[in-house]
C-alpha cells in the first residue's frame, strides 16, 4: 500500500514536492500545514481533495500518516522532526538539516536512538549524472582525481522563483552557500569522503540582515583539493547564472553543469552524456521519489541520512563563519 504523506511547509519547495508526488504517484497525499493561507490554497489547487491541518502537531500526530515531509525554513526543521520522531513517523526533510550545529547534533542523536526511517532531500543523491560519475570513478575511466572545482554564480539572489521565500535572502537561515553549495558539499562527501575546510573567506553586505554575496573556499577531501567560488550580482538574467561541478582526472574531465547535465572530455573535446534522457530534471525528481519508497520498504536506496546532512551542515557553517576582514 502506498505511504500516506503529510506536508509541513507548503511554500516553494513544499508545493514542488506535492506536485511531483502527484505526478509520479506512489504516495497518498493526505494533508499539509503552512502558516500562510495563500500557500495552503495554492497547495489545494494543485491536488484536489488535499486537506489543510489545524496545526502542524495535529498533522504529525495523525494516525493515518506514515511519512512527514518537512519543507519549512531550516531553523524550524528540528522542532517538527522531533515531533515526528516522538510520533513514530518516517521523516523526509529538506536541507539544510538546520543552522545550529548543536541542535542538529541533538536531532541526529534522537532519530538514530529512536530508529525512525529518515532521509534528507539533497537533489543530487538521485541524479543520473551522479550515478554516471560514480561509475566512472569506480571503473577508472576518470583516472586519479587531481582536483575538483565548484563554481556558482547567480545574477540575482534569491532567484526569481524563490522570491516568495524571503528568508532565503537573509543570513540567519538563507544565502546561496546553505541553499546551493550544500548540494555540492554533499556530492564531494559522497564521491570522495569527509570534507574539511582548509581556508575560506565570505563577504557580506554592510547591513546586519542580508545573506552573503561572495565566497571563496579551499577544501580537502581525502587529499583531493577542492576549490569553491561563489557569488551573486550582474545582469538580471537566469541565463547568465553559472552552476558547475568539475572533476579533473588524469584520464578525463567530468563536468556536471546547469544542475543536471553532464559532459566529459578525454582530450578530444567535450561530449554530452545522458542524451537519451529527455528531461534530466524530471528524471531526478522521479528517481528521488522511487528512492523514498525504497527507504520506507527497507530496501537499498542511497539517500543521505541526518548524519550525512549534519556533516554537510558542519562544512557550510564553518565557511559562513569565516567573514572577510574589513
Q: Write the pLDDT tens digit of every residue in 176-187.
A: 999 999 999 999
pLDDT per residue as tens digits for the range 75-94: 999 999 999 999 999 999 99
What pTM was computed for the model?
0.95
Question: Domain ranges in the chain?
Answer: 4-116, 124-277+306-321
Q: Which CATH number fits domain 124-277+306-321: 3.40.50.300, 3.40.190.80, 3.30.360.10, 1.10.600.10?
A: 3.30.360.10
Q: How far apart are CA 216 and CA 237, in angstroms?
A: 23
Helices (H) and strands (E) in the chain, counts: 10, 14
pLDDT tens digits for range 130-156:
999 999 999 999 999 999 999 999 999
Encode pLDDT of 1-59 as tens digits. 899 999 999 999 999 999 999 999 999 999 999 999 999 999 999 999 999 999 999 99
The three cell numbers locating residue 67: 511519512
CB 46 within 8 A of CB 15: yes
Q: For residues 202 and 198, give the distance between their C-alpha atoms in angstroms, rounded to a whole number.
A: 14
Superfamily of domain 4-116: NAD(P)-binding Rossmann-like Domain (3.40.50.720)
* pLDDT at res. 324: 77
Grid cell 489547487 — which residue? 45
Q: Are 272 and 260 in contact (CB under 8 A)?
A: no
What rounded mean pLDDT belongs to the chain?
96
* Whole-number Å distance between alpha carbons of 252 and 267: 7
Amino acid at each position: 500500500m502506498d505511504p500516506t504523506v503529510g506536508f509541513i511547509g507548503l511554500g516553494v519547495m513544499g508545493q514542488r514536492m506535492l506536485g511531483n508526488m502527484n505526478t509520479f504517484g506512489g504516495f497518498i497525499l493526505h494533508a499539509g500545514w503552512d502558516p500562510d493561507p495563500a500557500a495552503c490554497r495554492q497547495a489545494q489547487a494543485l491536488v484536489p481533495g488535499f486537506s489543510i491541518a489545524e496545526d502542524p502537531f495535529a498533522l504529525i500526530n495523525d494516525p493515518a500518516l506514515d511519512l512527514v515531509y518537512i519543507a519549512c525554513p531550516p531553523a524550524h526543521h528540528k522542532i517538527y522532526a522531533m515531533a515526528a520522531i516522538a510520533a513514530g513517523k518516517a521523516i523526509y526533510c529538506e536541507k539544510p538539516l538546520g543552522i545550529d550545529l548543536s541542535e542538529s547534533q541533538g536531532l541526529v542523536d534522537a532519530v538514530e536512538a529512536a530508529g525512525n526511517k529518515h532521509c534528507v532531500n539533497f537533489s543530487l543523491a538521485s541524479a543520473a549524472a551522479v550515478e554516471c560519475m560514480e561509475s566512472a570513478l569506480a571503473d577508472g575511466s576518470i583516472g586519479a582525481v587531481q582536483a575538483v572545482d565548484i563554481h556558482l554564480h547567480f545574477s540575482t539572489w534569491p532567484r526569481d522563483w524563490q522570491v516568495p521565500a524571503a528568508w532565503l535572502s537573509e543570513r540567519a537561515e538563507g544565502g546561496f552557500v546553505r541553499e546551493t553549495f550544500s548540494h555540492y558539499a554533499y556530492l564531494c562527501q559522497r564521491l570522495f569522503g569527509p570534507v574539511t575546510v582548509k581556508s575560506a573567506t565570505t563577504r557580506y553586505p554592510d547591513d546586519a540582515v542580508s545573506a552573503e554575496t561572495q565566497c571563496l573556499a579551499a577544501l580537502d577531501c581525502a587529499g583531493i583539493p577542492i576549490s569553491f567560488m561563489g557569488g551573486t550580482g550582474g545582469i538580471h538574467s537566469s541565463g547568465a547564472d553559472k552552476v558547475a561541478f568539475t572533476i579533473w582526472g588524469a584520464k578525463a574531465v567530468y563536468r556536471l553543469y546547469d544542475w543536471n547535465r553532464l559532459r566529459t572530455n578525454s582530450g578530444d573535446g567535450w561530449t554530452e552524456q545522458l542524451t537519451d534522457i529527455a528531461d534530466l530534471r524530471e528524471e531526478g525528481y522521479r528517481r528521488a521519489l522511487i528512492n523514498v519508497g525504497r527507504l520506507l520498504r527497507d530496501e537499498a536506496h542511497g539517500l543521505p541520512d541526518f548524519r550525512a546532512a549534519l556533516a554537510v551542515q558542519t562544512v557550510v557553517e564553518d565557511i559562513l563563519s569565516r567573514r572577510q576582514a574589513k
